[in-house]
């Protein structure tokens, strides 16, 4: 039983932490617009990232990760309507996309919609049977939001 616990710990440590610039996404992970956009996101060059991500989704219109990252970049530019549209597209393409659930939940907190953020936390809780970085991150953001607003419970 002890070896199983160790194996689970090793696997958990080896998993990416859910940040878009740290994740691999198919063949483009080693090059192309998506890889370039991930670098630009890491550098917080949102406008350049959006340019590359738009090229990427034009080539691969079924890329939930591309649309998720478009939402992320737009959210960081405070273009919330566009961010929500891109997150919705990502979740339409892949309703189980953990990163999109996390990021749209965080976006809802930015517009003071705690109820919608918690809906996405509930979805992540269902998707992450044994927990996942996205669940933990959104849970922490909601807790911080509640503290900042003086909410209890």
Averaged pLDDT of the chain: 85
Distance CA 97, CA 4 (A): 27
pLDDT tens track for 28-75: 343 588 899 999 999 999 999 999 999 999 999 999 999 999 999 999
Domain of 61 in residue numbering reads as 25-94
Of 101, 109, 100, 99, which Cα lies nearest the Cα of 141? 109
Residue 10 in domain: no
62 and 90 co-located in one domain: yes
38 and 87 co-located in one domain: yes
pTM of the predicted structure, to 2 decimals: 0.80
**94-129 burial, b for 16+ CB within 10 Å, e for fewer?**
beebbbbbbbbbbbbbeeeebebbbebbebbeeeee
Residue 50 in domain: yes
Residue 3 in domain: no
Domain boundary pick from 94, 128, 145: 94
77 and 133 co-located in one domain: no
pLDDT tens track for 84-140: 999 999 999 999 999 999 999 999 999 999 999 999 999 999 999 999 999 999 999
77 and 112 co-located in one domain: no
């Amino acid at each position: 039983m002890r070896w199983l616990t160790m194996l689970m710990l090793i696997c958990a440590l080896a998993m990416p932490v859910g940040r878009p610039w740290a994740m691999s996404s198919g063949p483009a992970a080693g090059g192309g617009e998506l890889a370039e956009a991930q670098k630009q996101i890491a550098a917080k060059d949102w406008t350049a990232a959006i340019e590359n991500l738009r090229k990427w989704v034009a080539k691969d219109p079924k890329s939930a990760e591309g649309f998720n990252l478009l939402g992320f970049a737009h959210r960081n530019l405070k273009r919330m309507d566009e961010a929500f549209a891109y997150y919705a597209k990502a979740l339409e393409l892949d309703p189980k996309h953990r990163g999109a659930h996390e990021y749209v939940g965080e976006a809802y907190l930015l517009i003071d919609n705690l109820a919608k953020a918690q809906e996405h936390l509930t979805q992540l809780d269902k998707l992450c049977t044994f927990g996942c970085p996205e669940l933990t991150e959104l849970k922490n953001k909601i807790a911080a939001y509640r503290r900042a607003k003086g909410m209890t419970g």
